Chains A and B, each alone.
Chain A
Amino acid sequence: MSASATAGMPRAGGTGGLALGLAVLGFALLAGVFGPSLVPHDPLVQELAARNAPPDALHWLGRDHLGRDVLARLVAGTRISLAVALGATLLAVGLGAGLGLVAEALGRWPSFLVFGAFDMVRAMPSILLALTLMVALGIGIWPLILALGVAFAPHMALVARATWRREGSAGYVAAARVMGASSLATLWRHVLPNIAGALVTQAAIIMPRAITTESVLSFFGLGVSPETPSWGRMIAGASRYAESAPHAVLAPVLALCIATLGFALVGNRLRLALDPLRERGR
């Protein structure tokens, strides 16, 4: 069992994985941005007479339980899922990493308070937290983004702090301090770019979780409003008719799985390349 025995094996993730992941994400992005204008049907228009119709030449993925075109809803749902994921991740980074780093740079007590608060949020199961926040804030995209952002902020804060501590003890930072730069300036000019790498990696992990959590919440009746074509809502509505209209539930389920897979593949590769916390050459 020497190292050479494993040397010949394909690298975990590999370039094949990255290519596939990027392809999936790229397709999702295109679908989200341009899709709704390309698909000729309106995702909201109902046609009660054609409830649960199977796929045909006009409606490639058939209709759902209210007669709406599944493909149109799927594509519109892509846009919503990506928007929610992006929004939530940005909020998590801003709130978590931003607040965490500022607190850390300011000193021991601010750091203690802020990270104590983050610990509290982290100790609550994120699903419960999101559930409660959603019931409090109501249904809709913005409350959803807020709830998800808050739920994932602590994770970002911890990663940012770990990277900061690691980089903060590096030589170049000490040199900058010796030359009279303040803590905040040091933070801004020297350390942030290095932290960005770690955060991007975390983002690749958080985004699929945000998409999934949104789906779970929408499935349970919270999340986006019922007619909004998010994947979770589509699954919730169609799962009742799974027997008679499998196409209506399979489409969003597959979309969800493929999207998270894409993120996972890309995130895997990013982690290997960007994360300064990992030792080189592993």
Chain B
Amino acid sequence: MSTALHAGLGLLRQAMLLAGIAIAVFLLIRVVPGDVVDAMALEGSLDDDAIVALRAELGLDAGALTQFRIWAARALSGDFGTSLRFDRPAAELILAAAPTTIGLAALALAAGLALGIGLATAAVLWPRSPLPALVEGLNLWSIALPTFCVGLAAILVFSVWLGWLPIIGQWLSPVVILGIDIGGQVAKPLFEDLKEAATAAHIRTARAKGLSPVRIVLRHLLPNALTTVVALGGLILAGMIGGALTMEVLFGLPGLGTLAYQAISGRDYPVIQAVVLIFAAGVVLVNGLADLAQRALDPRLRR
């Protein structure tokens, strides 16, 4: 199959995927008991008539299918609706929250990749040092210790007991914690890959020729191992969304995760739908890009 046709089919599949997600989320959150009018009625200022009227005003009394039709039509043109709680366009709330999440994710990814690649490379270069054991340990850390737990422990130790860091709004802890987690996920597979590649014939030839180990690693091994990293990238990103969400809520960062959590608690349908759609679209996009990148990097994968 030619690359173009393959890419086209892939795109179609992703579009259907997004559509499916949109429908599923739409229905799912309407199964949730209580709606935003209940949220507004909490303080005890709305009597029964007012509640009915408010529901009608917000369009919540129409059938599910009608509501979906209206929402989908608007969403396709970029209008994600208005937050039912705050009376502001959902897109505006998302745009305000997105930089925090993107920044956190980017920094964590950068830190994690630097740590993972650096550690794996160093472990291959100095196999007799404790570095390979460190790679194992780091991998174990990222599998065994949930970021949520590490985050809590960090808050307890650094903010409550030692008082070194503020609790609300600091980026250092979340980035470091997520970075270590990502580093652990990257370091071990990369290390294994590098080790295996090092036994390849052309590397032994290079060694025999007397090239320095560092040069061999940087020029010959790493570029080939990049496919591993890229393949991991998709997995990492998917896992990172969950991690970033908990980190945001734990550390009080005003990102998409906090927005989603509050929107779900507040039954703010338009915001929930918009955020989940954005997340899903993001995951789909990243997986697609990772797929393309893998094909580009590794000639073996091209059919």
Interface residues of A (CB under 8 A from B): 1-3, 5-6, 9, 12-13, 116-117, 119-120, 122-128, 131-133, 135-136, 138, 205, 208, 212, 215-216, 219-220, 235, 239, 242-243, 246, 249, 253, 256-257, 260-261, 263-265, 267-268, 282
| 5 closest residue pairs by CB, A with B | A212-B146, A264-B144, A261-B144, A127-B242, A264-B143
Q: A261 to B276: give the CA distance in the assembly, Å.
A: 31
Query: What are 28 A-B contacts defined by CB distance under 8 Å?
Result: A1-B213, A2-B207, A5-B128, A9-B132, A12-B188, A119-B17, A120-B21, A120-B24, A123-B280, A125-B283, A127-B241, A127-B242, A132-B32, A133-B28, A205-B143, A208-B143, A208-B144, A212-B149, A215-B149, A216-B148, A220-B249, A243-B160, A253-B149, A256-B149, A257-B145, A257-B146, A267-B143, A282-B192
- Whether a CB of chain A sits under 8 angstroms from the CB of B136 is yes
Closest approach, in angstroms, between the C-beta of B199 and any C-beta of chain A? 5
Given contacts A9-B132, A208-B144, contact A127 B199 (CB under 8 A): no
Q: A257 to B150: give the CA distance in the assembly, Å.
A: 9
Residues from chain A with a CB closer than 8 A to the CB of B17 are 116, 119-120, 123
A132 close to B199 (CB less than 8 A)? no
Q: How large is the interface on B (under 10, 10 to 19, 20 to 34, 35 or more residues)?
A: 35 or more
Residues from chain B with a CB closer than 8 A to the CB of A216 are 146, 148, 246
A125 close to B279 (CB less than 8 A)? yes
A135 close to B146 (CB less than 8 A)? no
Closest approach, in angstroms, between the C-beta of A53 and any C-beta of chain B? 19
Q: A154 to B140: give the CA distance in the assembly, Å.
A: 24
Most buried by A among B16, B24, B192, B279: B24
Residues from chain B with a CB closer than 8 A to the CB of A133 are 28
A124 close to B264 (CB less than 8 A)? no
Which residues of chain B from 278 to 303 have any CB-CB distance to chain A below 8 Å in the complex?
279-280, 283-284
Q: A201 to B129: give the CA distance in the assembly, Å.
A: 31
A116 close to B161 (CB less than 8 A)? no
Q: A242 to B153: give the CA distance in the assembly, Å.
A: 10
